[in-house]
Structure 1
Amino acid sequence: MTDTVSRLTPLGTEDDPFDLLVVGGGINGVGVARDAVGRGLSVVLCEKGDLSEGTSSRSGKYIHGGLRYLEYYEFRLVREALIEREVVLDVAPHLAKPLRLILVHSPEQRPRWLIRLGLFLYDHLGGRKRIPASRAVNLQSEWPDGLIRSEFQSGFAYWDVWIDDARLVVLNAVDAARRGAEILTRTELSDARRQGELWCANLCDIETGDRRKVHARAIFNGAGPWVEKVLSSVDKVKSGSSVRLVKGSHIILPKWWTGDNGFVLQAPDKRIIFVNPYFEGLALVGTTDVPFDGRPEDVKIDQGEIDYLLGILNTYFTRKLRGSDILHSYSGVRPLFNDDDDKSASAVTRDYTFELDTGDKGARSGSQEDTSSRDKAPLLSAFGGKLTTYRKLAEHALDHLAPFFPKMMPAWTEGASLPGGDFSGWASSEWAVSFRQSNPWLPEGLAEHYVLCYGTDTAQMLAGASCPADLGAHFGGLFYEVEARWLLDREWARTADDMLVRRTKHGLFLTDDEKASVETWLTGIRGAA
């Protein structure tokens, strides 16, 4: 086991290949890498940018069943997602927390009986254990200060799970590395070809241009929006599947209501918009669903999306919200499985599917029972999927690869804590209180931040520290050098954005000068290396 990153040891050779090359460092790629190495496979993962740099850090920060998907009869997907809410609360209790949501009833959008039926199914499809049941609420009684416009009198309270999506990705990668996987960020798959029963792949470090060759028995393509691009770089592979790219944008504003709950608002186009608390004093609003036809790297919010989100907010809330209230925004591209070109973006399934290529018979749906071509190096590609179901996607992916690895061990991740999440029988809140009491010298709010991001690993990060001076340079807000070095040494961070935007959300609270000081510090670190 190791906590090091991107080691410069030789990669798999023809005589000693890796079992699995994973392409893509989003949630599906790291989920597969973690599961596979825990089953006894040797694994190397390459990601052309930073971990979670694409779609996986640009979600609505929810682990949720997908209440709206019930309207499209996606009962299997909803059930699987609801079950995963409970799993995530168990394995990452420091990172995930239940969030009460208030669905404001708008009779023009959906009748009350339909919402009540949907919530009944939502309560019972997933074997709910720790999540409270839904109930009706009187909006004007609950917010007598006139928060919600008077024409909206009733609503429903139900629960989903809030999570920091980018940290969920990083913690899966950290666990994979601790179990022996190679994690190579800023490393792109240039090309791959079959060489007998192995894959021979060329990887390129996008910063230095250095090339490295890796041999592996199988490839998993979990590149999300870039899944088809990866397929095009693989020699003699034909795909019968594709993804539809759909842009989803969020805006961040100052929080304008009291309480820890979020809101669910019905839009005139039958979509639903989430409004939830987002770190200290902020609110996160989204998302849009817009067909996207450009490069995923270039995605950004447009004025139409801003007007759409603000229009929905101003339909329900008495406070007039304007573009000038927006503090930040972000956009991501969802790679949805393209099962019907005629469907609207909102109606396209959020489920996932696989395509297995074994060389001689072309691409086909993966099957655990199909062993007719197990002597060929397999390429398994994932199309679609969502943050909530990443762990099940990983299990199903390895089910498809199992015929090629008869000695592979069984699934194991359901009850296995992610790094920092093993509180040894304590509730996470109790552990947090104990930690705060044991470290009264920590500046206000810092203990809570460390526990949220690193859980029990905080003790290792702060080993030997006993006063604020031991935290090193203070960049601003809650960001100190001790955390920056942890991110560099243990979590593959290389740039200020890696630290301030993805692995933490310090960037929301630092001034431009403070962010520049982080860049200056990093430049000094690189120069000293």
Structure 2
Amino acid sequence: QNDAHNVRLVQGSHIVIRKKFDDPRAYFFQNKDGRIIFAIPYENDFTLIGTTDRDYGGDPHTVRISDAETDYLCAAASEYFMEPVRREDIVWTYSAVRPLFDDHASKAQEATRDYVIKTEAPDGGAPLINSFGGKITTFRRLSESVMERIEGFLGKRGAPWTASSPLPGGDFPVNGYADQVAQLEKEYPFLEPAHAARLIRLYGTRARTILGRARDHAALGRRFGADLYEAEVRYLMQEEWALTAEDILWRRTKRGLRFTLAEAQTLEAFMASAECSGKRGKAG
């Protein structure tokens, strides 16, 4: 729930449609209400359109795109696309709630996206550090700011290091994606180019942890649909805490855009049995 002194919950929703253009660049559109929306190439064959801003007072766990938001995004994008965007074009939607710092802006879209850190240490007791707002694009700097607050109580713990430290799997040059894909195809010649590209895009150098010593598709185990194999499923369960088919299809890989309902149900059943029996691992 909203805390009148600290947090403002703001819903943002997106729609995904079959791609309307082949240009690999993203576009920003100026809407009539003064907001901007974006259209981004998504998962090769789709276009992601968003986002919305509206105050939210419900349970964040059950947030869903509203009819008004759907109509808003379709109408806004249709102002720019040669072909209008209709409800029947939508293949997927998703919504989330931003816990923004409440700066008492008159409109949700005007609320600050900056983060705010507050420290409470009443009567010299153990300090409580609270962070409010921020975005995924600022999470690293937010974390360093919190560490600076902690060091004020515990003393210096070393120089900042996160700016130059890659995330897991990202230990290659910023312009080295194509080279990584080419090298993976060379090491695993049975992989289709699109499959190799997807693995590098999602996992970087850790793709080899999934593929292991595999020399053909059979070594990757069961194929559940699209190019999702058992080896990747087991990796996601073991290393990225995936518990359900929804975790994998929509939160980790977006393969749900290419799965049938029957394929998703088969994956769900497999994960339930694999988790219960403890059978996790990687390709041999």
TM-score (norm 1): 0.51
Q: How does 1:276-291 map to 2 (within 5 A)?
A: 276-291=40-55
1:328 is paired with a residue whose SS is: strand
State which of 9, 32, 37 in structure 2 corresponds to 1:268: 32
Q: Decide whether the 8 Å contact of 2:20 with 2:81 is kept in 1.
A: no
Alignment partner of 1:358 is 2:82: no
Aligned to 1:387: 136
Q: Decide whether the 8 Å contact of 1:246 with 1:292 is kept in 2.
A: yes
CA offset at residue 444 of structure 1? 4.6
Aligned letter for 1:474? R
Aligned to 1:336: 100
User: Which ranges of structure 1 fall in alignment gaps of 5 or more residues?
Assistant: 1-225, 229-239, 361-372
Aligned letter for 1:385? G
Aligned letter for 2:81? F
Aligned letter for 1:334? R
Aligned letter for 1:273? I
Change over 3 Å in CA distance of 1:410–1:323 after alignment to 2:
same
2:10 is paired with a residue whose SS is: strand
Per-residue CA deviations over 1:392-422 (Å, capped at 9, x if unaligned) read 1111111111122215222110001111111
Q: Decide whether the 8 Å contact of 1:451 with 1:458 is kept in 2.
A: yes
Aligned to 1:459: 208
Q: Decide whether the 8 Å contact of 2:2 with 2:8 is kept in 1.
A: no
CA distance in 2, matches of 1:302, 1:460: 41
State which of 410, 427, 438 in structure 1 corresponds to 2:176: 427
CA distance in 2, matches of 1:428, 1:255: 23
State which of 90, 108, 111 in structure 2 corresponds to 1:326: 90
CA distance in 1, matches of 2:200, 2:224: 19
Q: Decide whether the 8 Å contact of 1:338 with 1:348 is kept in 2.
A: yes
Change over 3 Å in CA distance of 1:425–1:266 after alignment to 2:
closer
Aligned letter for 2:199? Y
Alignment partner of 1:486 is 2:235: yes
Per-residue CA deviations over 1:297-345 (Å, capped at 9, x if unaligned) read 12111111111111112222221221111111011111111111x5211
Aligned to 2:13: 249
Change over 3 Å in CA distance of 1:300–1:472 after alignment to 2:
same
Comparing 432-441 with 301-310, greater Cα deviation is found at: 432-441
CA distance in 1, matches of 2:67, 2:136: 27
CA offset at residue 527 of structure 1? 3.2
Q: How does 1:139-158 map to 2 (within 5 A)?
A: none
Aligned to 1:349: 112
CA distance in 1, matches of 2:84, 2:156: 61
Rg: which structure is higher? 1
2:48 is paired with a residue whose SS is: strand
Q: Decide whether the 8 Å contact of 1:227 with 1:383 is kept in 2.
A: no
User: Which ranges of structure 2 fall in alignment gaps of 5 or more residues?
Assistant: 279-284
Per-residue CA deviations over 1:218-268 (Å, capped at 9, x if unaligned) read xxxxxxxx796xxxxxxxxxxx84111111110000001121012111111
CA distance in 1, matches of 2:212, 2:175: 21
Q: Decide whether the 8 Å contact of 1:336 with 1:384 is kept in 2.
A: yes
Q: How does 1:173-212 map to 2 (within 5 A)?
A: none
Alignment partner of 1:377 is 2:141: no
Alignment partner of 1:300 is 2:49: no
Query: Which of the pair has the greater relative contact order for Cα pairs under 8 Å at 6+ separation?
Result: 1
1:418 is paired with a residue whose SS is: coil
Instruction: Considering fraction of residues, name the structure with more helix.
Output: 2
CA distance in 2, matches of 1:401, 1:390: 17
Aligned letter for 2:270? W
Q: Decide whether the 8 Å contact of 2:225 with 2:263 is kept in 1.
A: yes
* Count of aligned pairs: 278
RMSD: 1.8
CA distance in 2, matches of 1:511, 1:421: 32
CA distance in 2, matches of 1:286, 1:436: 34
Q: Decide whether the 8 Å contact of 2:113 with 2:135 is kept in 1.
A: yes
CA offset at residue 425 of structure 1? 9.1
Change over 3 Å in CA distance of 1:268–1:316 after alignment to 2:
same
Percent identical across equivalent pairs? 38
CA distance in 2, matches of 1:440, 1:259: 29
TM-score (norm 2): 0.93
Deviation beyond 3 Å, 4+ runs, structure 1: none
Aligned letter for 2:47? A
Q: Decide whether the 8 Å contact of 2:242 with 2:248 is kept in 1.
A: yes
CA offset at residue 293 of structure 1? 1.0
